[in-house]
Copies of this chain bind each other. A is one copy, B any other.
Amino acid sequence: MRDFLPAEKARRERVLAVIRERYRAHGFDEIETPVVEEYARLHAGIGGDNEKLAYNVLKRGLDADAIRAAADDPASLTDLGLRYDLTVPLARFYATNRGHLPSVFRSIQIAPVWRAERPQKGRYRQFVQCDIDIIGDGSARAEAELVVATLDTLDALGLEGGSVRINDRRVLDWMLDSFGFGAEERPGVLITIDKLDKIGPEGIVAELRERALRLGQGADSAAIDAFEAFLRRPITLEYHPYGERQIRKALPADAPDEIVSHLVGIGAAAAAARAATAGDEVAGDIPLVFDPFLVRGMGYYTGTIFELAHPSVDYSLGGGGRYDGMIGRFLGQEVPAVGFSIGFERIVDLVAEQTDAAAPAVVLVHDRDVPEAGLLALKAGLVRQGSRVRLEQRTKNLKALLERAASDGYTAFATVTAGTTADDLEVKPLG
């Protein structure tokens, strides 16, 4: 976990302010849930592998007997846990507060989550997630609103040119079924397919064959052959322009109409919105890419899945999907839901440096013997005029002092001696 020093903290807050403002403009409303949730909720099997990475809070007031008894039941040591994502808490929030929310609820959550990840470069045990979700709308409009708001936010951060890879869990299911993989085989096959970007089609087929051999599943051999033939078919996918023809061409024959038309609907609505945003009527070219082999790890997805890409990096900047089954787990009544999460920690590193141009920031460099009352009056006068003001007692190395102030975002300075009045004060630009 990390400390954030002033320059980095200011940068993070600036990026968060843009994200928050854009999401709000698109009709989403921010909510907040407590950092800790009940242990049983966090470990209900919804969070997938993340459940294993959860930090749990020690029960208070355990006596020696209770601790000894917990040797055979470690879960009895805890009743609360730190959230590992914002989706499980949102489902719980919606179930708790539904009566106070609009029938279609569009939420923003901007908040830290915790996972006991192994320390490695670029991974932190506390990190911020920025999620938008739409609960109560099962139509393709919901996915399109998420895609449009996400891409608009990326644009507002100066990261133009982002695109969204899109697929549907039902596409994967139907494809694997059509190749001949049994329902019980598919989760394992999906884990392999998820590596397509890394190991390529040949690697996928080799891994599937090796696995079938190891598990003694000779019956899968025909399914793997069918899959291989499909992967090797001699077509180039034309993802742009995105439409029914392109989607059908990327899939085995006779893909189900319902799924294809949902994917087409998302594209049409997103395209119309992007065209209206850009102020032109060319609706054809939208940054949406159909990828029939996009998997996404989380087990709770039931339909559409997305991943956010940007040409400047070869990793995903966010993702999400439809999880129509989850709210029902908490509410006892099915409610459709779909979400998109921006990878804040990755995005904040890509956003160009910028200083607060809004207000001048002045360092008052004062001699040691300047009376306190006069010094604070000079500071207050500048603050009143709209400046940000820092006091610094003069040191021998004035240059170093001013350089450090400049690196902290200060743009001007003035020197103050014992006799300086507000009228004498000469504010000069820094650097």
Chain A residues proximal to chain B, CB less than 8 Å: 1-6, 9-10, 12-13, 20, 24-27, 29-36, 55-58, 60, 62, 64-65, 67-68, 70-72, 74, 77-78, 80, 82, 93, 96-97, 100-104, 106, 112, 114, 116, 126, 139-141, 144-145, 148, 152, 265, 268-277, 279, 283, 359, 372-381, 383-384, 386-393, 395, 404-405, 408, 422
Q: How far is the CA of A2 from the CA of B97 in the complex (A)?
A: 11
State the oligomeric state as a number of copies.
Answer: 2
* Contact of B375 with A269 in the complex, beta carbons under 8 Å: yes
* Contact of B77 with A3 in the complex, beta carbons under 8 Å: no
* Contact of B3 with A384 in the complex, beta carbons under 8 Å: no
* Contact of A31 with B57 in the complex, beta carbons under 8 Å: no
Q: How far is the CA of A269 from the CA of B2 in the complex (A)?
A: 37
| A358 smallest CB distance to B (angstroms) | 9
Contacting residues, chain B, for A9 (C-beta < 8 A): 29-32
* Contact of B27 with A390 in the complex, beta carbons under 8 Å: yes
Q: How far is the CA of A116 from the CA of B145 in the complex (A)?
A: 41
Contacting residues, chain B, for A116 (C-beta < 8 A): 60
* Contact of B276 with A378 in the complex, beta carbons under 8 Å: yes
| A129 smallest CB distance to B (angstroms) | 14
Interface contacts beyond A9-B32, A27-B389, A102-B390: sample of 6 additional A-B pairs, CB < 8 Å, sorted by A:
A3-B96, A9-B30, A10-B30, A36-B55, A56-B58, A268-B373
| A1 smallest CB distance to B (angstroms) | 4
* Contact of B273 with A377 in the complex, beta carbons under 8 Å: yes
| A378 smallest CB distance to B (angstroms) | 7
* Contact of A272 with B373 in the complex, beta carbons under 8 Å: yes
Q: Which one of B30, B383, B391 contacts A277 once the chains associate, using CB atoms below 8 Å?
A: B383
Closest 9 CB pairs of A and B: A6-B29, A1-B34, A27-B390, A272-B373, A273-B380, A276-B380, A273-B376, A272-B377, A269-B372
Q: How far is the CA of A24 from the CA of B272 in the complex (A)?
A: 42
* Contact of A359 with B25 in the complex, beta carbons under 8 Å: yes
Q: How far is the CA of A386 from the CA of B152 in the complex (A)?
A: 13
With A35-B35, A58-B57, A389-B26 known to touch, is A276 a contact of B372 (CB < 8 Å)?
Answer: no
Closest B residue by C-beta to A57:
B55
* Contact of B32 with A144 in the complex, beta carbons under 8 Å: no
With A25-B383, A25-B389 known to touch, is A5 a contact of B273 (CB < 8 Å)?
Answer: no
* Contact of A380 with B277 in the complex, beta carbons under 8 Å: yes
* Contact of B74 with A27 in the complex, beta carbons under 8 Å: no
Contacting residues, chain B, for A33 (C-beta < 8 A): 3-4
Q: Which one of B93, B387, B393 contacts A104 once the chains associate, using CB atoms below 8 Å?
A: B393
| A355 smallest CB distance to B (angstroms) | 13
Q: How far is the CA of A38 from the CA of B201 in the complex (A)?
A: 47
With A116-B60, A268-B372 known to touch, is A31 a contact of B55 (CB < 8 Å)?
Answer: no
Q: How far is the CA of A9 from the CA of B140 in the complex (A)?
A: 28
Contacting residues, chain B, for A58 (C-beta < 8 A): 55-58, 77-78
Q: Which one of B31, B57, B60, B276 contacts A3 once the chains associate, using CB atoms below 8 Å?
A: B31
Contacting residues, chain B, for A276 (C-beta < 8 A): 376-381, 384, 422
Q: How far is the CA of A93 from the CA of B147 in the complex (A)?
A: 39
Contacting residues, chain B, for A393 (C-beta < 8 A): 103-104
Closest B residue by C-beta to A126:
B34
Closest B residue by C-beta to A143:
B372
With A74-B67, A152-B383 known to touch, is A373 a contact of B10 (CB < 8 Å)?
Answer: no
15 contacts between A and B (CB under 8 A): A3-B96, A6-B29, A6-B30, A10-B30, A12-B32, A29-B408, A55-B57, A57-B57, A58-B77, A67-B77, A102-B392, A141-B375, A265-B372, A269-B373, A273-B380
